[in-house]
């Protein structure tokens, strides 16, 4: 909406206000009491209330059909349709009382406006009515909760065996994502928060031989299509939230603990580009938790491709620790980190004792 549209709206409101003021002045010239509320005034208020409610509902319906395309992107995971159906059912259950209540409110204002000889019916208490309007929402909400729990269980506890599931670890830190894949041994090596330094961007422990063949990738993650993947999340600094909207998954990344979820991508990046007729489309892992000043820049490219292409890409990546050919050389071992930490604590204690001696 341009500036001209806003100017037209403002001028229209000012013109309406002037018309009302002219009407009030004309009534005063006729000798009418403009402060008196007549039956005609009440009737018009009831009509306008009903018209406003109908216009409001029409606007709501228009917005639902016009902007539903921006609600969620097309689902690209095996459990995506279940999540979408749950969302649709929730909207229907919420939408029915939303529409009904507004229609009843508008109708009552129109049909029962105040006029001479009409008295309001006063009800102080009605056990049956209170039981009905308490029981019905309770039953409906319980049904919705149980349905949601069933969908959640089917998502987080799929039927695939653990040995048929590939594992990828993702570390969140201000303001980037780092992915780690297990090497030929099929196991992710140990990590420790003391080892976050320099090029050791994930805090891997080189004393753990399982970490030597791990593959660390900054800002990019590849996944094979139709293969169940369990992504393990860690955070180096603050709480982040890993959000993959096309795969209908989201999980908080909490410092000091590991979280995870499983999903099965069913559409490659190329498939989505053809489906959307968009050659520039890409999947992204986003941070959905405000984690700092540059939160909006925290995203990672996710490439879903056929398994043979994925295996080829993974085979081209360098392992974490392979002597002089290391892709990422570890800065120090865990023992060295603990020694440094101990020396720093000792130095601090010596400084305190020295200060006490001076005093």
What would the pLDDT profile of 222-260 be if each residue is shown by its tens digit? Answer: 999 999 999 999 998 899 999 999 999 999 999 888 898
pLDDT of residue 233: 92
The dotted CATH code for 164-331 is 2.60.40.420
Q: Among 24-33, 65-74, 280-289, 340-349, name the one with the lowest average pLDDT.
A: 340-349
In the predicted structure, residue 57 carries a pLDDT above the cut 90: yes
Residue 267 phi/psi, 5° resolution?
-135, 125
Residue 107: count other Cβ atoms within 10 Å of its Cβ: 14
Q: How many CB atoms lie within 10 A of CB 3?
A: 7
At 232, is the secondary structure helix, strand, or coil? strand
Own/partner pairs, 55-60, CB within 8 angstroms, 24+ separation: 56/102, 57/99, 57/102, 57/103, 60/98
Residue 359 has pLDDT above 50, yes or no: no
Reported confidence tier of residue 162, pLDDT bands at 50, 70, 90: low
For residue 193, the model assigns a pLDDT of: 74
Those residues with Cβ within 8 angstroms of residue 276's Cβ, 6 or more apart along the chain or in another chain:
74
pLDDT band at residue 344 under the 50/70/90 scheme: very low
Q: Are 326 and 319 in contact (CB under 8 A)?
A: yes
Please report the pLDDT score of residue 40 as a whole number.
83
Average pLDDT over residues 329-337: 45
Whether the predicted pLDDT of 99 surpasses 90: yes
Tell me: pLDDT of 335 over 80.
Answer: no
Instruction: Report the percent of the chain where pLDDT is more than 90.
Output: 41
- How much is the mean pLDDT over the chain? 83
Half-sphere exposure of 128 (CA within 13 A, CB side): 1
Q: Which of 57-61, 114-118, 228-232 has the lowest mean pLDDT?
A: 114-118
323-338 average pLDDT score: 46
Cα gap 200→191, rounded to integer Å: 10
- Would you say 169 and 232 are in contact if contact means Cβ atoms under 8 Å apart? yes
Give 15: exposed, middle or buried? Use CB within 10 Å, 0-12, 13-18, 19+.
Answer: exposed
- Give me the mean pLDDT over the 87-103 stretch: 91
Where in the chain do CATH 2.60.40.420 domains reside? 164-331
> Other CB atoms closer than 10 Å to residue 80's CB: what's the count?
24
Indicate if the pLDDT at residue 63 is higher than 70: yes
For residue 330, what pLDDT is reported?
45
Directed axis angle between helix 80-111 and helix 127-156, to 10°?
160
**Model pLDDT, residue 105:** 92
**Cα separation, 177 vs 299, whole angstroms:** 7
Kindly state the tokens that stand for 3. 């500036």
Backbone angles phi, psi at 181, to 5 degrees: -115, 145
């Amino acid at each position: 909406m341009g500036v001209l549209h806003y100017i037209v709206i403002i001028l229209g409101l000012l013109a309406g206000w002037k018309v009302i003021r002219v009407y009030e002045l004309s009534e005063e010239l006729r000798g009418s009491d403009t402060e008196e509320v007549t039956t005609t005034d009440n009737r018009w208020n009831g009509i306008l209330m009903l018209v406003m409610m109908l216009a409001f509902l029409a606007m709501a319906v228009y917005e639902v059909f016009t902007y539903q395309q921006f609600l969620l992107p097309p689902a690209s995971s095996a459990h995506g349709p279940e999540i979408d159906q749950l969302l649709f059912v929730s909207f229907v259950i919420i939408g029915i009382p939303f529409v009904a209540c507004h229609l009843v409110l508008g109708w009552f204002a129109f049909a029962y406006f105040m006029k001479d000889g009409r008295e309001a019916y006063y009800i102080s208490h009605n056990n049956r009515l209170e039981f009905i309007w308490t029981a019905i929402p309770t039953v409906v909400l319980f049904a919705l909760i149980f349905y949601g729990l069933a969908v959640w269980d089917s998502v987080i506890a799929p039927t695939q065996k653990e040995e048929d599931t590939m594992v990828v670890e993702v570390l969140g830190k201000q303001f980037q994502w780092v992915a780690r894949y297990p090497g030929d041994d099929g196991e992710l090596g140990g990590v420790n928060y003391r080892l976050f330094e320099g090029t050791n961007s994930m805090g891997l422990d080189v004393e753990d031989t399982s970490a030597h063949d791990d593959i660390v990738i900054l800002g990019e993650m590849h996944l094979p299509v139709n293969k169940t993947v369990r992504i393990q999340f860690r955070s180096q600094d603050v709480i982040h939230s890993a959000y993959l909207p096309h795969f209908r998954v989201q999980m908080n990344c909490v410092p000091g603990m590991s979280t995870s979820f499983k999903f099965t991508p069913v559409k490659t990046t190329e498939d989505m580009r053809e489906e959307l007729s968009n050659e520039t489309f890409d999947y992204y892992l986003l941070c959905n938790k405000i984690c700092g000043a540059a939160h909006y820049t925290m995203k990672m490219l996710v490439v879903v491709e056929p398994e043979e292409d994925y295996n080829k890409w993974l085979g081209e990546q360098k392992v974490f620790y392979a002597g002089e050919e290391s892709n990422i050389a570890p800065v120090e071992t865990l023992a060295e980190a603990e020694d440094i930490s101990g020396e720093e604590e000792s130095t601090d204690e010596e400084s305190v004792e020295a200060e006490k001696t001076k005093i």
